[in-house]
Amino acid sequence: MEEQKILRKEMILAGRPLVLEVGRVARQASSAVLAKYGDTVVLVTATMAPEPREGIDFFPLLVDYEERHYAVGKIPGGFLRREGKPGEKAVLSARLIDRSIRPLFPKKMRNDVHVVATILSVDQNCAPEITAMIGASAALTLSEIPFAGPIGGVIVGLVDGELVLNPTVEQEEKSLLHLVVAGTKEAVVMVECGAREVPEDKVVEAIEFGHQTVKEIAAFIETLREEALALGLASPKKEFEFPEPPEELREAVKAVAEPALREAYRWYASARLDKKARESHTENLKNELVAKLLEQYPEEEATIKELIAEIERRVVRELIAKERIRADGRGFKDIRPLSVEVGLLPRTHGSALFTRGQTQVLSVVTLGAVGDEQILDDLDLEESKRFMHHYNFPPFSTGEVRPIRSPGRREIGHGALVERALEAVIPDEDAFPYTIRVVSEVLESNGSTSMASVCASSLALMDAGVPIKAPVAGIAMGLIKEEDEFIVLTDIQGLEDHLGDMDFKVAGTEAGITALQMDIKIAGVTKEILATALAQAREARLYILEVMRRALPAPRPELSPYAPRVLSLVINPDKIRDVIGPGGKTIRKIIELTGVEIDVEDDGRIYITAPSESAGQQALEIIKNLTAEVAVGQVYLGRVTRVTDFGCFVEIIPGVLGLPGKEGLVHISQMAPLKGKRIEEVVKEGDQVLVKVIGYDSQGRLRLSQKEALRMLAEKGGKRIERASSPRTRHRSSPK
């Protein structure tokens, strides 16, 4: 048997070892790399189908990010106790890798490529998604798959004013920025960012800072390939030949189609045609052009259609770059007409409709109890989240007919981007103890529905009375780049996204950026392009925020009458058992009596979610009584509840609605002198007596003394003694 060859290369990345190993495992894949960063271990494989897939006009790349719960020593939740379909974090991580590598494959490639990242071990200080991205880059670079990499990827944080590379969990908690940068040695290819109102110039600096290390990672992978080739652990790149159409046919199509398409797009711009009218006219024109060319070239229908599509792309880009003409006649910085409406839906907790040109989104807010938060069953330390944004993209929004399924990767990705954009302004749980869910329904789509969702959701939150720190708006920027010249477009529509070079989504407040997402179709973008795009996006964002402010200047001062009311208090954690009761009996009784929901946290925080203010206050008073602190040495006016041969029981803090209060025993030895009388002749059930708390017995029960209370009263010369009926309310009364 041939001796197994293993190559292992190591570099230091942000003070921690990054190890790439090839040759040990998964040797039947086109390429397999075991990527280790700290104690995070990810197996990444890359495999390519030998033949192209027929009948498609796109590159069939699939990236799977497979989380294994054993990686963090957990058994999966659910009935089956095994991993099911990928969770949201896994989908977002797969998209992160896909968007970083997709621009670097040949445009005409039609062979299926499958990249699988299997998470085997997780060190929370060494992000598995970054380890997987680097592993994917290495696997593709070592394989025979054509790939214009390698790439590197890092996370950049902003802690105490300093940029930090691949921050630890502790640093992440304090960081104002979570920026993922991916790129080649030459340029940045992907950016994803969540931030707490960070200025544009700081974000550009952070991208440049991250790209410096990205270059080092790319060079490290290049060295790995050189050594792997020498050992036979890497493959020569497969050469693809994409047949070019005959020059005669190309010229014939150009002569017929280019003037017609150029004239059509100039007319669209001057007439300001909407999307449907433009698409209908373009489709009819293309069909006429194809029919005309088929008379001369009857066997070349597919090639003719492909050439017409190429000409259309070139015409649109040249009109923008050379003649300064956009398809809808706008200037490069112009935003389409905006319309804002709030409070559309009478029974929801908050709603808003945001329209920008032919992009329209309805966002709806629902407020729930703290216990309604989402439970997370993934590999992160975070176990739940109280703010959720969900995004729906039905087929009618683009005039299509297709079945509606559960959310796909695109919907999950767009929803998460909006959630990230708004997260920075959501009030803390202590200030606003609600679980918050926002749903964005896309009603029309022609350019960045995700950024329209940011605007609509921000308005819906304010309409619901959620005290967000500041309104957030978003805008999508495009790019037309020819050699060294470039033009940045504000508020791109679908056509400019499809035929342009970049989709750069920017969201933020007046103070700064809260979220970024950049996808490109070229080999990379420069610092100058990024800075220009961010500056132009800020200008647009401030204009949109002003329009939003006119519709709703600030969060409404009151919640919707249909929203639940949440009251909160903090008790001694040792008193939690008094609220819960044996087997949950007490808390169930409170819920049954008042109709509220109660969430009890381990640290003593209690949240009461009530259908009305009165029900919430009723439950609050019950819990206050149940958890009232009784001070040793304090004198109380109590009520006798039972009389026995050995003393009497006195309730010093009354129960409510059938629930027990606070009572203790006045032993016969601690009662006032009986003077030869029996106990029942001196006190009876229902009598009010003064007692002093003198301590607790071995079982934690209150010990009370009537003698000590009377002695203290005599020492004070008959002054009034305070009577406590609750821990926060004190009444004065004269002693009997």
Quick one: DSSP state of residue 202? Answer: H
Residue boundaries of the structural domains of the chain: 7-231, 247-323, 338-551, 565-626, 635-733
Average pLDDT in the chain = 91
Q: Which two tokens stand for residue 614?
A: 């009165």
Topology of domain 247-323 in CATH is Arc Repressor Mutant, subunit A (1.10.10)
Residues in the chain, how many? 736
Q: What is the pLDDT of residue 717?
A: 65
Spell 307-321 as b/e; 16+ CB within 10 A means b.
bbeebbeebbbbbbe
What φ, ψ does residue 197 adopt, rounded to 5°? Answer: 55, 55
Residue 730 has pLDDT above 80, yes or no: no
Check if the beta carbon of residue 638 is closer than 8 Å to that of residue 721. no
Cβ-Cβ contacts under 8 Å for 36 (sequence gap 6 or more): 17, 18, 19, 20, 21, 42, 131
Q: Does the 635-733 domain belong in CATH 2.40.50.140?
A: yes
Q: Could you check whether 7-231 and 338-551 share the same CATH topology?
A: yes
Q: Residues 274-328: pLDDT tens digits?
A: 899 999 999 999 999 999 999 999 989 989 999 999 999 999 999 999 999 999 9
Cβ 494 vs Cβ 278: under 8 Å: no
pLDDT tens, position by position, 54-98: 888 899 999 999 999 999 999 998 888 999 889 999 999 999 999
611: Cβ contacts below 8 Å, ≥ 6 apart = 564, 565, 595, 596
How much is the pLDDT for 659?
A: 66
Q: For domain 338-551, give the CATH number.
A: 3.30.230.70
Closest CA to 39 of 166, 151, 127: 127
Fold classification of 565-626 (topology level): Ribosomal Protein S8; Chain: A, domain 1 (3.30.1370)
Among residues 480, 534, 481, the alpha carbon closest in space to that of 327 is found at 480
Q: What is the pLDDT of residues 391-447, one digit of tens each?
A: 999 999 999 999 998 899 999 999 999 999 999 999 999 899 999 999 999 999 998
How do residues 192-203 score in pLDDT, each as one tens digit?
999 999 999 999
Strand partners, 183: 152, 188
Angle CA 24–84–364, to nearest 5: 130
Instruction: Return the higher-pLDDT residue of 724 and 617.
Output: 617
Q: What is the pTM of this model?
A: 0.86
Nearest to 193 by CA among 205, 202, 203, 183: 203
Class of domain 7-231: alpha beta
3-state secondary structure of 118: strand
pLDDT for position 311 = 95
pLDDT greater than 70 at residue 560? yes
DSSP class per residue in 448-493: -HHHHHHHHHHHHHHHTT---SS--EEEEEEEEEETTEEEEEES--
Q: Give, rounded to a whole angstrom, the gap between the first and last alpha carbons of the chain.
A: 101
Report the DSSP pairing between strands 647-653 and 662-667.
antiparallel
- Which pairing describes strands 635-644 and 597-600: parallel, antiparallel, or unpaired? unpaired
Distance, in Å, from the CA atom of 511 to the CA atom of 662, rounded to the nearest integer, reads 53
518: which strand partners?
Answer: 191, 504
- Indicate the residue type of 648: C
> Which secondary structure element, helix H or strand E, spans residue 12, and what is its range?
strand 7-13
Place of tokens 């698409």: 279
| Known binding-site residue numbers | 497, 503
Buried b (16+ CB within 10 A) or exposed e, 580-600: bbeeeebbeebeebbebbbbb
CA–CA separation, 256 and 249 (whole Å):
11
Query: What is the amino acid identity at position 487?
Result: I
Rounded to whole angstroms, the Cα distance separating 150 from 166 reads 19
How far is CA 14 from each of CA 37, 166, 198, 213, rounded to the nearest angstrom?
A: 10, 6, 23, 9
What are the distances in angstroms from CA 394 to CA 338, 351, 412, 458, 535?
22, 19, 14, 21, 33
Which residues belong to the annotated binding site for Mg(2+)? 497, 503
Say how far apart CA 716 and CA 720 lie, in whole Å: 9
CA dist 638 and 735 (Å) reads: 11
